[in-house]
Amino acid sequence: MCYKDLKGDIEMIALSIAGSDPVSGAGIQADLKTFHAFDVYCASVITSITIQNTQGVIERIDIPSEDVKKQIEIVLSDMIVNSVKIGMLPKKETSITVKKYIENKYTVFDPVILSKNGYKLMDNDNIDYIKSKFIRDLFLITPNIREAEILTDERVSSEEDIKRACEILYERGAKNVLITGGDLNQIDILYNGKNFFEYGSKKIKKTVHGTGCAFSSAIAANLAKGKGLTDSVEIAKKYITESIKNSIQMGKGYKVIDHFYNLKKESERYYVIKELKGAFSILEKENIYDLIPEVQSNLVFALKNADSSRDIAGFPGRIMKVDKKIETIGSPEFGASKHMANLILKVMKYDSEIRSAMNIKYSKRIIDLCKRLNYHVFFIDRKKEPEEIKKKEGESLKWEIEEVFKKTERIPDVLYDIGDIGKEPMI
């Protein structure tokens, strides 16, 4: 069920049967990138050549079913695949051909019926065949809301409707049904004939090309690696959510997801830690002992598109004063800072380019010097901080940033206060 590469490492193999997208946002091209992101080798069979870009589909050129058959046979004569992902099946003849070769395989079917701009990618007689015969004994089918409505002839406008649609598709023969609810409530619902499993995420206000292809491929990739269905869906859900958040504008139309965001993120994490270590070495060499406040300092650096403290690195235990020099108890780590991490998260909502900050002891001399150097310096009066904010741990810095932006509509280079009762002055 697998092969070994030159290093002797085991590689899993998947097969994608789908249409071709010339801008590589969806279809076979997106599938290949997704499988590769999960370290799964992917063979491919093309069912149709779509004429499209990021703005929409304008035409399709379907591959004759006999040629689809030849592609499948030549692949399966050479490789034993661990999972199959099926996307665009334009014609009934194509579906009949494909069905013969997917029996008893981990098959994930993403029924591509309409493009985002409304172009029909599946013939009507094929829709009927899919409903009545093709989905029988399929391991998993993953329609979105609109596709579920077409395949069940039912209106889907609530969570209960999604569950009912799952039951209908299960009754028609699918072993497992996953309906993606991004257009409705951001909840995807999986049904295995006995239990419902819900996979939620925060609403992301983006319309992105190729999400269904990547999501179903991510599930198939994890199935190929031997993971169970519920775990595979959970991993794929996290992957597609992050991919959408990190989507990129490549053309004039819809954004496309970044299939390799996870690999880029890991390399970026290494870069962030390396930069923080280098920065501390400079501060240590310059011996900034006199700049460390009584509450100690921290220096933080966030990943691009950070959305929690886990995406922000800082020094555990802060930067401390010890014997007239600065020290830390360890190397920088992600999630090590709370207060400064919250500050940067708030700052990045207004200016995503600002990803690093440090707090130091207040000094009028430093403020005057910063002004002479033409830094944008802003004073915040802590005495005006609302009592309800003061009582909440970690909320003061967020409030300060909100106040700054209300008045200047930009993030300053230097933000300072002269303290309050029980509050140390700070820059």
CA gap 321, 324 in Å, rounded: 6
Please name the helix (run of DSSP H) or strand (run of DSSP E) that holds residue 86, with its range, or none: strand 83-86
Which tokens in the block code for residue 36?
Answer: 């590769």
Instruction: Give the model confidence (pLDDT) of 27-50 as tens digits.
Output: 999 999 999 999 999 999 999 999
DSSP secondary structure code for residue 311 in this structure? G
For residue 7, pLDDT over 60 is answered with: no
Question: Given this model, what pLDDT does residue 5 score?
Answer: 42
* Mean confidence (pLDDT) of the chain: 91
Residue 339 — pLDDT band, cuts 50, 70, 90? confident
CA gap 163, 188 in Å, rounded: 10
Question: Given this model, what pLDDT does residue 10 score?
Answer: 57
Q: What contacts 341, CB < 8 A, 6 or more positions away?
A: 300, 302, 309, 312, 314, 335
Question: Given this model, what pLDDT does residue 315 score?
Answer: 96
Question: Given this model, what pLDDT does residue 186 score?
Answer: 72
Partners of 37 in the β-ladder: none
Contact by Cβ (8 Å): 178, 111:
no
Angle between helix 211-224 and helix 27-37 axes, rounded to 10 deg: 40
Domains present along the chain, CATH in parentheses: 2-259 (3.40.1190.20), 260-337 (3.40.225.10), 362-427 (no CATH)
Highest mean pLDDT among 205-209, 324-328, 407-411: 324-328
For residue 386, pLDDT over 60 is answered with: yes
Question: Given this model, what pLDDT does residue 6 score?
Answer: 39
Identify the residue with better confidence: 17 or 102: 17
Residue 184 — pLDDT band, cuts 50, 70, 90? low
Question: Given this model, what pLDDT does residue 387 score?
Answer: 78
Question: Given this model, what pLDDT does residue 3 score?
Answer: 42
Is pTM beyond 0.75 here? yes
CA gap 147, 169 in Å, rounded: 11
How far, rounded to the nearest angstrom, does the alpha carbon of residue 388 sit from its chain's CA centroid?
35
For residue 177, pLDDT over 60 is answered with: yes
**End-to-end CA separation in angstroms for the chain:** 60
Question: Given this model, what pLDDT does residue 2 score?
Answer: 44
Contact by Cβ (8 Å): 315, 332:
yes
**353 exposed, middle or buried (CB, 10 Å; 0-12, 13-18, 19+)?**
exposed
Average pLDDT of span 265-269: 89
